Amino acid sequence: MPIINKTEFKLSKKPNKQSKLNNALILELENKLKSSSDGLSQDEAKKRLVKYGLNEIKEKKTSSILKFMTYFWGPIPWMIEAAAILSAIIKHWPDFYIIVLLLLINAIIGFWEERQAGNAIDALKTKLAIKTQVKRDGSLTSLPARELVPGDVIRLHRGDIVPADVRVLSDSEIEVDQSTLTGESLPVTFKYGDIIYSSSVIYRGEVEALVFNTGANTYFGETARLVQEPHSISHFQKAVLKIGNYLIILALAMIALIIVVAILRGSPLLETIEFSLVLLVAAIPVAMPTVLSVTMVIGARIIAKKKAVVSKLVAIEELAGVDILCSDKTGTLTQNKLKLGVPFCMEGFNSDQVILYGALASRLEDKDAIDVAVINGLKNDIKDDYTVLHFVPFNAESKHTEALVADKNGNQFSVAMGAPQVIIAMSHDTNKAMEGVSKVIDEFAVRGFRSLGVARTNKKNKWQFVGVLPLFDPPRSQARSTIASAKQMGISVKMITGDHIAIAKETAKQLDMGTNILDANSLNDLGQSESEQVAESVEKADGFAQVLPKQKFHIMNVLQKRGHIVGMTGDGVNDAPALKKADCGIAVYGSTDVARAAASIVLLAPGLSVIIDAIKESRKIFQRMNSYAIYRITETLRVLLFMTLAILVFNYYPVTAVMIVLLAIMNDGAILSIAYDNVRYSNKPEIWDMRKVLIISTVLGVMGVISAFTLLYIGERVLSFSTGQIQTLIYLKLSLAGHLTIFLTRTHGPFWSNRPAKVLLFAVVGTQILATLIAVYGIFMEPLGWGWALFVWVYALSWFFINDRVKMLAYKLYDNFRINIHKK
């Protein structure tokens, strides 16, 4: 359990003015931890290290071997493995080798892509400080941060990463960069008694602090725990399971029926079981996981050329279906760089002068973000006309910088820049300055700007307030157009930020995102049993401000429960849990290791336009996978129903076991080329409509059965072919019709509405030339001859045109049915 309940404290965005209360809290905390301002003794620290453990994040690791073995577990792998075992029992070794090879390929692809995703917890650990100054036995010593325990007193300096959750013990104030934890773009001021959470960075100042939570009990540790939570099964995996289960159940039912009828008829049982096994091999989608995985792998390479690296393959399918994109603000929608706005000027001064005096009170070599922004605001090199004689840097007590400067004529004067109230207090005309400045500062605050006061000394060497410099984090140049493009593609973009609501609203306004920004603190029941009203407000909001990592995580959860497929972009530690929780987590350019490891897709170029390119490509990949799924179900239905009905009705095997194996090998071999097919992306999010997939597949499958029985009738009753010739005739027809089916399933409209890729066309033509040669010359079967082979080609193509019209009618009827149901 945590030493201190985190719900007692909230991240302070303003200095706590209740010093007496803070003092009482510190005394209470020191008593609770049995500590003091002198820290702990070495002996006590060792005891606590045993009790509380190391100040580090423990990770859950799974053996690589066990992880690999999970790819052989599940409904589809079970049936494939059962088919392999049966093949070995009856010594059908070609079948056995093919089945095992496909099973291994699928497992290796799945295991490798997951291994490449990396370990988010390793990345999180790198964010912790390595060394820290700790008081032990009353004196400071440098120790590894992992050895810190609750009750330790540590000293923090500028640039230090805070190694644990601490409370400030010093009277002086400091500024802390919390951007990687909360998403706030500007440093936050802390003073005596305030809490600083682990992984924050000291921006300015120096303090002593009391450690009260370490390791997994820290706020950072809670973030790590959220990242470790297992990701729910993807929509792609659910679709594959549904397809697999449907085909397996159908195959087992048909085969059971065949065996029962064979027993009743007194047919040779071993021959029936052997044929049933071959039929099972043809029916089970052995190659389906491999084909879909290869399609995604090839798609991932294409997306990589768009500067987006896919670390988890299923993210491609998830990205295609994203209808809500939750975007972190700082560094994602904005540049995460301070920029100078239009200054407010006192009477007698202009904007250029206010900026100049602010720039003279800044020092570029300190690489301070504020100083850099002010100096970059100069329109020319006028600062070079002045010489800085003496410079006093910013400190937490004075809250301003100050410089003595001389112009090119040798005239000397002083300039100062800092907190407006401090600069006003320095000025001799305080009352006059305060009249308009307070209102201006309030207006800047409403717009999300940070204000800096600027003053200079006059000829009487008295300080004179000259104006206010507003600073803000500007949006990225392409962010607005990217958001507009996302909306055109049916994607709602929501901002999620740890910044103040005023900053969030101003940024959203500039990006035309809508200004319905909710304060996350108002959503108190998130993560518990949120009410319908709260869930609806989350769904309708344009964005969220003052969001903590846990709240980001739960916002994802609420949206997913409302039936949305959610994408999340981010770049910092604070985004990691949400990136992990989202259906598709996207780490933007320049992200921390934590964000990249937790995300499914990592962008290698700045800006959000990369995401739009990736979404377009992912929707194309989805189209290819959907086409294959319909094709695979259609072919399985066609073979299963035709074979079963032929055996039951006519007591006749229309094809041999060898023919079935040849059909399975050539069909699945050629269909791999669908990964390169030409497709058009949809302007709506893509989701697996399994009802539509199964209905269209069933319609095409039944049409295939009708055409096959018609040919069987012609061969037997009209042409009076021998059994061997009929089997060759049916084999060639099933092979041709099967491959032509892919040209039906790849389009909703006429098959010619979208030209297929050359590689797909050549693969189909090539395998069918081979199938024709096998039938013509009788390899593994009775020869058919060129004349009857040509007849089968004409017959198959004729039905192809008929099936294309039937397919279009089926789509039209289904879509009209869905529209009518929706209206009701």
Mind telling me the catalytic residues? Answer: 328
135 sits in which H/E element: strand 131-136
Residues with Cβ within 8 Å of residue 603, at least 6 apart in sequence: 307, 308, 309, 586, 587, 588, 589, 591, 610, 611, 614
**If you ran DSSP here, which 8-state letter would residue 161 be given?**
B
Cα separation of 672 and 279, whole Å?
22
* Half-sphere exposure at residue 256, Cβ-oriented, CA atoms within 13 angstroms: 6
C-beta of residue 564 within 8 angstroms of C-beta of residue 271? no
User: Cβ(285)–Cβ(665) under 8 Å?
Assistant: no
Burial of 241 (0-12, 13-18, 19+ CB in 10 A): middle
H helix and E strand count, the chain: 28, 24
In the numeric block, the tokens 């650990």 are attached to: 125
State whether residue 451 is helix, strand or coil: strand
d(CA 477, CA 475): 6
Q: Give residues with Cβ within 8 angstroms of 44, minimum separation 6.
A: 151
622 vs 295: CA distance, rounded Å: 9
Q: What does the alpha-carbon distance between residue 660 and residue 280 come to, in Å, rounded to a whole number?
A: 10
The DSSP H or E segment spanning 24 is helix 19-33
User: Is residue 460 packed enough to be buried (19+ CB in 10 Å), middle (13-18) or exposed (0-12)?
Assistant: exposed
Question: What six digits make up the tokens of 113?
Answer: 């892509």
First-to-last alpha carbon distance for the chain, in angstroms, is 53
Longest CA span, the chain: 121
Two tokens at 77? 């792998």
| Helical (H) or strand (E) element with 577 | helix 576-581
Rounded-to-integer distance, Cα 228 and Cα 119, Å: 9
- Residue 195 and residue 167 in contact, taking contact as beta carbons nearer than 8 Å: yes
The DSSP output letter for 163 is -
57 close to 224: Cβ distance less than 8 angstroms: yes
Alpha carbon distance 497, 499 (integer Å):
5
Give which of 2, 60, 53 is closest to 228, Cα–Cα.
60
Cβ(235)–Cβ(283) below 8 Å: no
Nearest to 559, CA basis, from 590, 519, 530, 599: 530
Instruction: Return the C-alpha torsion angle 178, 183, 186, 187, nearest 10.
Output: -10
Distance of CA 458 to the CA centre of its chain: 57
H/E stretch holding 249:
helix 235-265
